[in-house]
Amino acid sequence: MVTSPFSAQALREHRLFESADLDETRERISRVMQPHLLVPSGAKSGLSHMDFVRLGGVGIGTIAFGNAMRVDVEAVDGYHLLMFCVTGQAKVRTRGQTVCVDQSNAVLCAAGEPFDAVLSPDCEQFILRIDTGLLGTQAWSTRLRSGSHLHIDSPALGGWMQQLNLIANSSALLELARNNDIVGSQLGRLLLELLTLGHAKSAPETDRRTVTPGFVKRAEDFMHEHCGEVWRLPDMATALGLAERTLRDGFQQFRGVSPTQYLRQIRLDKAHKILREATDGVYVSDVALDCGFMHLGRFSIEYKKRFGESPSDTLARRM
């Protein structure tokens, strides 16, 4: 168990911004996270700040608003989010349940899930941002999917919390992580591995769902067969004879991502395979369209995020 409180003193040396302007605060946070709604619920206007450091596919940071605030995210997009409070408290609603978050309790929100938090005036959040691209090829997403409430002061998560405290309070480690991609990636993966091991150990046995229902597997087969076609979630659910909510909740619970994010991963993997095995006369734009990507620029961004290189780089060194 952690013997000292979480402080993140070294992380404060990596301040992205301070602002008393709500619109600027929203815009600056959105650059790191995503567009969201901020609704102040206190009378005073406080000074907001955000500290943030990238550790490969994992980001760690703190956010404070200096005021009571409601944060409303329609659906977390492209990453998993873990949040607890360095100071103050928050009530977070996600997956149809309300979690009381403080210095001992955290909330884990998977990609595709809504996130609605009401923060106390003295609340400073700690955030752990985990890219879905990092989870896509690992067993981590399976181990993280059970439950959204974590007791971060439990013995099972003690090793993770101690390591997190060490990194967030070490100027030398954070500076190395910023300037050396290998160091940053290794630190991020270590935090993720410790988190998932501790979470799996602390999760009740009844929450460890290992048997994937048939409709999820059927949906996966459908996506592989029709990945080159344009699909909206309601249309996909109709084609499979499922309720939209059933399809969405099934993938969140058993795959750790939304159905549309899972389909995107299938498309990217297919495009990667085609480009690696391409013969002369194959163009990146044609491969993107054949794999269901209508916007070439977005395809290139997602592809590089997943494989660490551009589609044209893969094509240039094809077999």
CATH number at residue 21: 2.60.120.280
41 and 69 both lie in a single domain: yes
Cα angle 180, 185, 186 (rounded to 5 degrees) comes to 100
Question: For residue 170, what are its two tokens?
Answer: 């070490």
Residue 3 has pLDDT above 90, yes or no: no
Looking at residue 212, its pLDDT comes to 73
CA 106-74-203 angle, to 5 degrees, is: 30
Q: Give the separation between CA 164 and CA 235, rounded to whole angstroms.
A: 42
Q: Is residue 148 domain-shared with residue 233, that is, in the same domain?
A: no
Helix (H), strand (E), coil (C) string for 75-118: CCCCEEEEEEEEECCEEEEECCEEEEECCCEEEEECCCCCEEEE
Percent of the chain with pLDDT over 70: 89
For 49-80, give the DSSP string: EEEEEEETTEEEEEEE-SS-EEEEESS--SEE
- 16 shares its domain with 115: yes
Which tens digits make up the pLDDT trace of 109-123?
888 788 899 999 999
Q: Any residues with CB less than 8 A from the CB of 123 and at least 6 apart, and which?
A: 64, 65, 69, 85, 87, 88, 89, 90
Same domain for 197 and 121, yes or no, is yes
- In terms of domains, do 178 and 240 share one? no
Comparison of pLDDT for 256 and 160, the residue scoring more: 160
Residue whose structure tokens are 């977390």:
76
Tell me: do 48 and 71 sit in the same domain: yes
82 and 185 share one domain: yes
Judgement on whether residues 142 and 264 belong to the same structural domain of the protein: no
Give residue 138's pLDDT.
Answer: 45
Same domain, 197 and 296: no
State how far the Cα of 19 lies from the Cα of 64, in Å rounded to an integer. Answer: 11
Sign of CA dihedral 102, 105, 109, 114: negative
Is 4 a domain residue?
Answer: no
Please give the pLDDT value at position 139. 46
Instruction: Check pLDDT > 50 for residue 92.
Output: yes
Token pair recorded at residue 240: 């499979």
Kindly write down the DSSP assignment for every residue of 215-242, as one continuous string: HHHHHHHHHHHSTTS---HHHHHHHHT-
1 domain-assigned? no
> Token pair for residue 72?
């409303």
Same domain for 180 and 37? yes
The answer to whether 11 and 51 are in contact (CB under 8 A) is: yes
CATH number for the domain harbouring residue 272: 1.10.10.60
Residues 41, 126: Cα–Cα separation, whole Å: 21
In the predicted structure, residue 230 carries a pLDDT above the cut 60: yes
69-90 pLDDT tens trace = 999 988 888 888 999 999 999 9
Total domains, the chain: 2
Q: What percent of the chain has pLDDT over 90?
A: 40
The residue behind tokens 């048939």 is: 214
Whether the pLDDT of residue 273 is over 50: the answer is: yes
Mean pLDDT of 21-43: 88
DSSP, residue by residue, 15-52: EEEEES-HHHHHHHHHHHS---EEEE-SSS---EEEEE
228 and 194 within one domain? no
186 domain residue, yes or no: yes
Residue-number span of the structural domain to which 40 is assigned: 10-207
Residue with tokens 């409070």: 85
Residue whose entry in the numeric block shows the structure tokens 């592989």: 224
pTM (two decimals): 0.64
Confidence of residue 25 (pLDDT cuts 50, 70, 90): very high
Domain boundary among 207, 226, 258: 207
Q: Are 147 and 108 spatial neighbours (Cβ–Cβ below 8 Å)?
A: yes
Task: Give residue 66's identity as a one-letter amino acid code.
Answer: G
pLDDT mean across residues, the chain = 85
CA–CA separation, 33 and 56 (whole Å): 15
Report residue 197's pLDDT band, with 50, 70 and 90 as the boundaries. confident
